[in-house]
Copies of this chain bind each other. A is one copy, B any other.
Amino acid sequence: MEAKKPTAILRMHCPDKPGIIAVISDFITTNRGNIIYLDQYVDHVNGVFYMRVEWELENFLIPSEKISEYFNTLYAMRYNMTYRVSFSKRRQKMAIFVSKMSHCLYDMLARYVAGEWDVEIPVIISNHPDLAIAGKQFGIPFEHIPVNRDNKEEMEQREFEILDRYGVNFIVLARYMQVLSENFIERYPNRIINIHHSFLPAFVGAKPYHQAYERGVKLIGATSHYVTTELDAGPIIEQDVVRISHKDTIDDLVKKGRDLEKIVLSRAVEKHIQRKILTYDNKTVVFS
């Protein structure tokens, strides 16, 4: 990618009112910020206004560390906004959790070393030792934490220590076959991205390809979503499908599904890295 000037990114939502766009874009422009991205959306059913603005910081009159405070004082309180200011210079740290299947992991590692993503991957965590080789190949620490139903609390404590040690901002479950505890999930709200190998809400839970085969569907899907405490029910980030036919065995579904899973997961992770996702009411607004 081309070199980009440092930018600030504002994501916000608030009760819809006339004039919010004008007010915010005026705030940025008056202070000599050059807006390079603005997308907004009004949910007329619930009366909520969503916006993402990105502007170059080069000549911006307000120092970066003061932007959030100023914005809060001048606008957020007045309009009852929920907002977040991020900075393109601050590279996020992403941990990958895997079990035994490698396709999603390799897809992300290949993007990583090719420089496709503006992210850092400091650690891979797994409940099985099988994919340690991938860590070695790509020079990323691999931590084997043999979690199971009986030792989950203790093992998750070890995971927390690792995640904290590496300063991890968000987690990607790349076909990780363990259910996280509520405690774990609540520690990373909207910061754990999972890939489920079905077109949710169809085929929740275990063995979705078997379920799909049994039902005789003509398309199979994959769904990437933020993890919440209810299984496979969190805000959906991205979905896609692929056509199958009566000729496809369950093995064929697994095979076709792999390509789908890795692409759908990587699209979702990329949107998260680009800070283009807003969540509200168990749904996502994904800006383009």
Contact = CB atoms under 8 A, between A and B. Distances in A.
Contact of A218 (B33, B50, B239, B246): B239
A47 interface: no
A21 interface: yes
Interface in A110-130: 110-111, 113-114, 116
Contacts of A50: 246
Q: What is the interface of chain A mostly: helix, strand, loop, or mixed?
A: mixed
A109 B221 CA distance: 24
Given A18-B35, A21-B38, A29-B22, A245 B106 contact: no
A125 to B, nearest CB: 19
A283 interface: yes
Interface string A231-252: 0000111111101011101110
A119 to B, nearest CB: 15
Contact of A246 (B21, B25, B219, B285): B285
Q: Most chain-B Cβ atoms within 10 A of its Cβ — which of A106, A238, A251, A288?
A: A106
A132 interface: no
A45 B249 contact: yes
A240 B243 CA distance: 9
